[in-house]
A = this chain, B = another copy of it.
């Protein structure tokens, strides 16, 4: 927990396991989130791994099983680097909790997301050497972190479809923002699945398994699923609802803060927008009257296939109460649903309703 103590401004929701989100000012300040302010979402204690004895096993439906040390991985495969936004499936859950309570889940605001450059090898290159079997429709990852939250307790795991695993962008990464991965972020090696919910980017990865079916791990089969509103997550059988993967178009307002007081006159509104899958952000609209009239925000960051785009716009606010609203559009002309009550779901995932911030101009 030392790393958290280093930054007093992290929003710590839970200490054991450690769950903390980034302060909005830090997210707004740069396209790449500083390593020590990057959100941390854990389901168990941070495992203590020795990089010199750690091994990655690649198996399941492959022609040739592999066991790789970190040195061997780095020698054998060409390095790849890309900038990608990670986003927790529960990011912005607080907006859903405001509609109806979601007990037992972390009440993330909009800071369970961040953008970093990642350096590692392409999962595709490793799988090409292993030789994916024709029945291998999924590729599963297993971490070294054991979660007591799972039923039964088990290491954190996930899986992604074959087409995603074989797309070039999925990395096995050992560097973040040009620095060695820290233990808190998955050292010695983590998966980075750009465009997918953070839960698929398994930290402390030790096993990669080619499979005919999605992983049966608790965090793939039971958690991180979009359930219909009437279901009780504790009673719904594994496989209920829909496993989350690609991330829908989303945005949040980073500044000003909800409920804050600002000086009447020009007020700069700053936020981020992100779309996963094979999409990117093409436009962000902002309103200062609750969504009746809109203006286009300036997109600060250039378009990039796997990264968010921060945005800003200045409104001249007269004295009084104003509701600032934002909505992003992705490259498929998809935009966000208006109201959180319409995306509410029992586990509180994937809230991409319009973010709203009330400010008093004085």
Residues of A within 8 A of B (CB): 163, 226, 228-229, 242, 244-249, 276-279, 282-283, 285, 291, 294, 296, 327, 329-339, 342-343, 349-350, 352
Contact = CB atoms under 8 A, between A and B. Distances in A.
In the A-B complex, list the 7 residue pairs whose CB atoms are closest, starting with the nearest. A248-B334, A246-B332, A333-B350, A242-B282, A248-B332, A226-B333, A278-B278
A282 B333 CA distance: 20
Contacts of A352: 334
Contacts of A327: 342
A98 to B, nearest CB: 18
Interface centre among A331, A333, A335, A349, by most B CB within 10 Å?
A333
A277 B278 contact: yes
A228 B296 contact: yes
A338 B335 contact: no
Contacts of A245: 331-332
Nearest to A196: B332
Contact of A242 (B246, B249, B331): B331
Contact of A337 (B163, B283, B285, B337): B337
Nearest to A244: B333
A300 to B, nearest CB: 18
Q: Classify the interface of chain A: helix, strand, loop or mixed.
A: loop
Given A228-B296, A333-B349, A283 B242 contact: yes
A342 B248 CA distance: 18
A232 B362 CA distance: 37
7 contacts: A228-B285, A242-B331, A246-B332, A248-B330, A248-B332, A333-B349, A337-B337
B278 A246 contact: yes
Nearest to A338: B338
B335 A342 contact: yes
A91 B242 CA distance: 28
Contacts of A244: 333
A245 B333 CA distance: 8
A335 B337 contact: yes
Nearest to A333: B350
Contacts of A163: 278
A335 B279 CA distance: 15
A296 B345 CA distance: 14
A229 B247 CA distance: 26
A291 B343 CA distance: 12
B331 A246 contact: yes
A329 B243 CA distance: 12
B242 A333 contact: yes
Contacts of A283: 226, 228, 242
Contacts of A291: 342
Given A283-B242, A296-B228, A332 B278 contact: no
